[in-house]
Every structure is written in structure tokens, then in C-alpha cells.
Amino acid sequence: MPAQKSPLQKRNPQKLISRKNRVFLNIPYDAAFENLLLAYIAGISAFGFTPRATLEIPFSQRRLVRIISLIKSSQYSIHDLSRVQLDRTAPRTPRFNMPFELGLTVGSSIPNHAWIVCETRRHRIKKSLSDLDGTDVYVHDGTVRGVLRELCNAFVRTKRQPTIEQMMQIYRILRSRFAGILQAAGASDPFNARVFRDLCVLASAAADEIIP
């Protein structure tokens, strides 16, 4: 007698299978972070993963519920806590979304979910979030190459392990097609759902071509 399928599997059999390749990306959405967003998409795709981000979620009352479900539907999550300073627009405030989403991830205790924390500056997290003492933090120095290097330090593939140069190649492809993708979406920055999706599919196609 075949094993009974859960209601979730009955509705969408693909949903449980593909959870393995999903990475929840928790990063600041500001213009200064544009290059690093492309670097994260390139690096994550180079490992054969699919990036997910709250950019995909439309603003609504149920946003928090959907953020939690997005985290739960991913096997890994990357939390970049680089933006701890006050922003420029009045009233000047720090950004709480990234540490909040890290808290949601840790607090949800999702089975088989691994999370990593990234920062721009070494030792700063000891001051900004001392509760993470004893947790390894990946410091990327705020550069594209730094992000790719730290992703290589964080993940190791048994097959199709990408090199930094291959990841840089994917990043260059994203860079060179970036203006066209923005234009097609009628957007001025990459922090919107359509641009993010296009960039992820483009990066995945490039990774499939470049990484043997």
C-alpha cells in the first residue's frame, strides 16, 4: 500500500522536493547595496541554489505571515547585517528588518535549516548583536569578490563546486544585462519583484552554462 501523501504534497508535489535548493536572502534594500545584491544572486546561483527574498512579497497586512512561510520553505538562509547605521532620510532610523528576520529564522527552529550571518566589518557584530557571540560571522568587506569568497567559505558542494572566477563570470553577465532587465521591468533599481526574479533566472542559466 503506498504511503499517504500529506495535504501539502497532494496540492503541490514539487513544493517539498525543491525546498532543498532554496536560499532565503536577508539583505538591505538600498542603492549602495546594489552590487552586493547582484553578487549574492550570482554566488547563490553558482551553487545551484534558488535565491528567495522578501522582495517577492507584495506589501499587505499578511506580509509577516508570508515572510515566515518564505523562511520555512528555504533550506538555507543568509542574513547580511551590514546596515546598522542610521539612514539619511528624516526621521533617521537604523534598519531593523534584517536582525528581525534573523530572529524569526532562529526562533522558528526549522528542522534541517542552516543559517549564516554576513557582515561588512570585522568585530562590529560583537557590539551590534552580542547575542550572536560564538557564532561564526562571514566578513565580506563590502566588496563583490568578498561576498563570493565568503559564500565559498560557507558552502561546499560535493559535485559542481564553483570557483571564484566562475562566480565572477556570472556576476559580470548579470552586470552587463542589468540595464536591459531594469528597462524591461520599467524599474530604476533592482529592489522589486520582477527585476529580482529575472536576475535569478538569468544567473541560474549562466551558472548552468559556466559551471561544468
Partner 1 sequence: MKPIRVNSAFATPYDTARILGVSRARTEELIKLARRNGDHTAKPTVSSETGFASKGSAYKAHSIKRSSTSVARKSRVRNAGAKVSTTKTKSAKANL
> Which residues make up the interface to partner 1 (CB under 8 A)?
14, 18, 20-22, 35, 45, 47-50, 52, 56, 75-76, 114, 116, 136, 138, 143-145, 153-160, 169, 172-173, 175-177, 180, 197-198, 200-202, 204-211
- Least distance (Å) between residue 154 CB and partner 1: 6
CB-neighbour burial class of residue 86 (10 A; exposed 0-12, middle 13-18, buried 19+): exposed
Question: CA 131, 135, 141, 145 torsion: positive or negative?
Answer: negative
Which of 18/85 has CB closer to partner 1? 18
Which helix (H) or strand (E) segment is 202 a member of?
Answer: helix 193-210
CB-neighbour burial class of residue 85 (10 A; exposed 0-12, middle 13-18, buried 19+): exposed
Asked if the peptide bond before residue 162 counts as cis, ω within 30 degrees of 0, the response is no
State in Å, rounded, how far the first CA of the chain is from the last one.
Answer: 41
> What count of Cα atoms within 13 Å lies in the side-chain half-sphere of residue 100?
9
- Least distance (Å) between residue 194 CB and partner 1: 9
Which of 94/209 has CB closer to partner 1? 209
User: Please, are residues 154 and 138 in contact by the beta-carbon 8 Å criterion?
Assistant: yes
- Least distance (Å) between residue 89 CB and partner 1: 24
User: Please, are residues 115 and 77 in contact by the beta-carbon 8 Å criterion?
Assistant: yes
Cα separation, 207 vs 46, in Å, equals 5
- Least distance (Å) between residue 74 CB and partner 1: 10
Which of 106/154 has CB closer to partner 1? 154
- Least distance (Å) between residue 51 CB and partner 1: 8
Which of 100/208 has CB closer to partner 1? 208
User: Please, are residues 38 and 51 in contact by the beta-carbon 8 Å criterion?
Assistant: no
Which of 49/191 has CB closer to partner 1? 49
- Least distance (Å) between residue 1 CB and partner 1: 29
Which of 86/143 has CB closer to partner 1? 143
